[in-house]
Structure 1
Amino acid sequence: MSFSDASLTALRVFREVAERGTLTAAATALGYTQSAVSRQIASLERAAGTPLLERRHDGVRLTSAGQLVVRRAADVIDQLDATARELAGLPGEEGTVRLGWFPTAGADLVPRALAALRRTHPAITVLSREGRTPALVRALRAGTVDLALLASAPPFRPPDTETPALVLRTLTERSLRVAVPDGHPLARRDYIDVADLRGHRWIGGSGEDQAMGVWPGLDERPEIAHTARDWLAKLHLVAAGCGITTVPGALGSVLPAGVRVLPIRGGPGERRRIVLAHVPRPLPEPAARVAAALRTAALETDT
């Protein structure tokens, strides 16, 4: 059996596994059983004559052969899908851009960029989705998104160690800030001294991201009174006087009433970058237009 005999179904399953990071997650996304996913992967590995996945306790990792296959599979599947759309009389793939973005980018940056793009290039269709950095990076590698907005914290390492390295462009860099209720004692000044952050109730993230929302340089064990994944929910909890939370600068323009966001003085600076990532090959014209709109929107949110 040669690799040219590999089925399109097996390639689609493999791309889904590469993006999701586990066989179980891929099976759920596709509506398959895990054993069916395993059979498709096994058939593809037989056709390739080499392992494509490294099975680990926390999921799967692509081998070097797997990285090659997922890149080629993405090209094949995208071309076939574009042909199907054209045959159906739908817009061609060249006008569609798939964008991934980290959660807070959806509060202002992404809507601002898409609104501008609709005015300047209405023929471009953008399909977008929110995700955490590991999921977005896997989607880039698997070819299921064309561009990804990633949030990066010091020491600003690359988002993965795969080769070839992703192309990364910093759109903006801002200082992390703290959101407090209008009537809170910390809201009386134009900034907060880092030492004054001790002894307060915090609103953190959920699950493994619980520390997100707590000042990174805090020199005490924080009291996390509430946890929420959604940033707007965190800010409304702040407005209700339930605690304080950290916020990136990008949220400054979408604050609910009753919340004040202040810079922090003293201690090491806490910087956050917004990075636009894509695989290392020339961007098609529609994707380049979307990237330009995102760069412009990032600069506008800095003013």
Structure 2
Amino acid sequence: MDPSLTGLRVLCAVAERGTFTAAGQSLGYTQSAVSRQVAGLERETGVMVFERNRDGVRLTSAGLILLRHARVVLDAIAAAEAELDGTLPDVHEVRVGAFLSAGAVLLPRAVQALRDRRPDIRLTTREGTTPSLVRALRAGALDLAVIALRPPYAAPDTELPAVVTERLGESTLELAVPAYGRFAGRDAVSVAELGDVDWVASPSSRDESLMGVWPGLAGRPRIAHSARDWLTKLQLVAAGCGVTTVSPSLAEVLPEGVRLVRVEGASPERRRILVARLPGRPSPSVAVVIEALRRAYPD
């Protein structure tokens, strides 16, 4: 077996992105070029690496084995290139992915703490949905992923070996409402009152439904504004354009004109926040970042 480095890089990109098209965009290749590389890799190894389906692709058990070794090979090549160039860094980079709202409070706290106490560790971050972050973790594009799970808190994916998770905290969702208007001055609203309000919601993706409309709301909610960015969503709420579901961790970064209220008359919507990594003993720098995330989680 003699796979090319290009084939291994394509393997990692497809595993991370979930489709040939998205992998090609990240690498600067066409979709057909990615398909050719994958086909060549499967011929060279004699096994099927991906299962194709209408929503994208999924690694086979053989593909997972190959991916694990591909990461080792590519990391070794990168380290060799750096050593030959004389560019081995004195700073240890740790790559962290996090779900969208975690970037408002959790990540800035962790980055600041590490900058002040451990200047030898450089934290780089990216956002994504929980499924996309777990894929990136398995593909070797991330060292850690801060993810959110809803009851019954099943594993974030069904692949083996299972990712290792550590609990950072747990919260109950609340509703962000304009400080003036229908819900002004209240600490709670009834779920029955939410059937005829305007919503500011994040657009759904192939991976999962993003936060916005209160989960399980009866009927067809009226989505007046669609935005992924939390600043945009909260500013729209402040302007009286609608309401949106949020994590209470955002309380300290709410813009003027927005209040958080409880939703009564329905089962509490809980989310468990975890930091995930691949199995095995974490490197010393990764362990330091995990501890920084644990300390940074809002009380």
CA–CA distance in 2 between the matches of 1:220 and 1:95?
Answer: 51
Paired residue for 2:72, among 75, 92, 103? 75
CA–CA distance in 2 between the matches of 1:35 and 1:197?
Answer: 47
Match status 1:196 vs 2:160: no
How far the C-alpha of 1:211 sits from its partner, in A, is 6.6
How far the C-alpha of 1:72 sits from its partner, in A, is 0.7
How far the C-alpha of 1:29 sits from its partner, in A, is 1.2
CA–CA distance in 2 between the matches of 1:224 and 1:286?
Answer: 43
Question: Mapping of 1:68-147 within 5 angstroms?
Answer: 68-92=65-89, 95-147=92-144
Deviations 1:202-260 (A, max 9, x none): 11112446773111142332221111111111100000000111111221111111101
List alignment gaps of at least 5 residues for structure 2: none
Match status 1:285 vs 2:284: yes
CA RMSD of aligned residues (A): 1.7
One-letter code aligned to 1:222: P
CA–CA distance in 2 between the matches of 1:134 and 1:68?
Answer: 20
How far the C-alpha of 1:92 sits from its partner, in A, is 4.1
How many residue pairs match? The answer is 297
How far the C-alpha of 1:43 sits from its partner, in A, is 2.0
Any conservation in 2 of the 1:74–1:144 contact (CA below 8 Å)? no
Any conservation in 2 of the 1:210–1:227 contact (CA below 8 Å)? no
Between 1:280-289 and 1:93-102, the stretch displaced more is 93-102
Paired residue for 2:154, among 157, 160, 175? 157
Percent of residue pairs identical? 53
Any conservation in 2 of the 1:19–1:139 contact (CA below 8 Å)? yes
List alignment gaps of at least 5 residues for structure 1: none
Question: Mapping of 1:22-101 within 5 angstroms?
Answer: 22-92=19-89, 95-101=92-98
How far the C-alpha of 1:173 sits from its partner, in A, is 0.5
The TM-score, its normalising length taken from structure 2, stands at 0.94
Any conservation in 1 of the 2:7–2:40 contact (CA below 8 Å)? yes
Any conservation in 2 of the 1:225–1:243 contact (CA below 8 Å)? yes
| 1:237 paired residue number | 236
Match status 1:167 vs 2:164: yes
Deviations 1:10-46 (A, max 9, x none): 1111111111111111111111122222222122212
CA–CA distance in 2 between the matches of 1:270 and 1:55?
Answer: 34
Q: Secondary structure at the match of 1:144?
A: coil
Structure with more of its chain in helix, by fraction: 1
| 2:247 paired residue number | 248
Q: Secondary structure at the match of 2:196?
A: coil
How far the C-alpha of 1:47 sits from its partner, in A, is 2.0
Q: Secondary structure at the match of 2:154?
A: coil
One-letter code aligned to 2:249: A
